[in-house]
Amino acid sequence: MSCFSVADKSEEGSEENPESKEGTPSESKPIILTEEEKKAKLRRLEELRVLKRKEREEAEKSSEVEKEKKRISEGKMLSSIRKNQDDLEMKKIAEERRREKLETQRAKERVRGQIEEDKRARREAEEKRRNPNAPRISSIPPPSIKPVAASSSEPNPKYTQSRIQIRLPNGSTLVQTFSVKESLSSVRLYTNMNRSDPEFNGSACQFMTSFPRKVFTQEEYEKTLESLELVPSAVLIVKK
């Protein structure tokens, strides 16, 4: 009976060992591709790579097209802006030249009038010196003053600017064009900001005219050049 048991166990052991030996290699066995399968897999990878590259190139091409369209559009816009700016600049230059020409003409007329006025004043002064008791000279105001008053008291309404010449104490001059609606204080501010004569101590300057002689009051600095009859041009002297 014991021999039968040993034989049975021996047979069972002999049956179990082959299973354990066969099971272990089957679980760790790698997948081996055939040459055809390898080639097919490589073809799929290559096709995928080509497809990705094509998609990327198309996206880049589309982006470049959009950039070019944007560049052309912006270029046209900039060209239009530059043309408008050039047109405005040309109009501005033409208007400035026309204004300067008109101001120069008016200034010449003003200077000619002042020269004639000075000549008349000198003649009358000489005549008065030679004939101090002459009734015509002593009783009648100098005729040179009346035309100036008449011309200055009726400023031409079309004047929009006035050319002001400012004579500084050291003999130098400043010349600037102002709107007839600007106040005399604007002229004073311009003078204080641009003068460099040694007499300037930083305080607000005071103006006067030589003919007819007039010293402007503090209240008159708030009046316009038009209301002070300083159009279309005038000469202001800075008091020492």
Structure tokens given for 32: 């081996």
Question: Residues 120, 145: contact at Cβ < 8 Å?
Answer: no
pLDDT for the residue 1: 45
Q: Which is more confidently placed, 123 or 231?
A: 231
Structure tokens given for 42: 């490589």
Q: Match 């400012």 to its residue by tokens.
A: 166
The residue among 193, 198, 196, 191 whose CA lies nearest residue 238 is 191
Question: What is the band of 203 on the pLDDT scale with cuts at 50, 70, 90?
Answer: confident
pLDDT tens by residue, 130-144: 887 765 544 444 554
| Model pTM score | 0.36
Structure tokens given for 144: 């040179």
